[in-house]
Amino acid sequence: MVNLSLKQRIPPLENGDRLTRYEFERRYQAMPRHQKAELIEGVVYFASPLRFESHAEHMVI
């Protein structure tokens, strides 16, 4: 029998998953700390990633 670590056995959270509160909290605890997720009415939602650099240069008029 192969011994797998706890994090390898817990599937990652995915946007749109339908989970119970218990299952959401179990998976959320196994996630990296820099990701944020919410469970709203049984559906998992991830926040949009933040952009640290501007996507375009702005002209001064």
3-state helix, strand, coil in the chain (%, to 5): 20, 15, 65
Task: Report the chain's mean pLDDT, rounded to a whole number.
Answer: 81
CB 37 within 8 A of CB 31: yes
Given this model, what pLDDT does residue 16 score?
95
β-partners of residue 38 are 45
Q: Which residue has the higher pLDDT, 4 or 52?
A: 52
Q: Per residue in 3-23, pLDDT tens?
A: 555 446 889 999 999 999 999
Given this model, what pLDDT does residue 38 score?
94
> Which DSSP letter does residue 36 get?
-
Q: Is 23 exposed, middle or buried (0-12, 13-18, 19+ CB in 10 A)?
A: middle
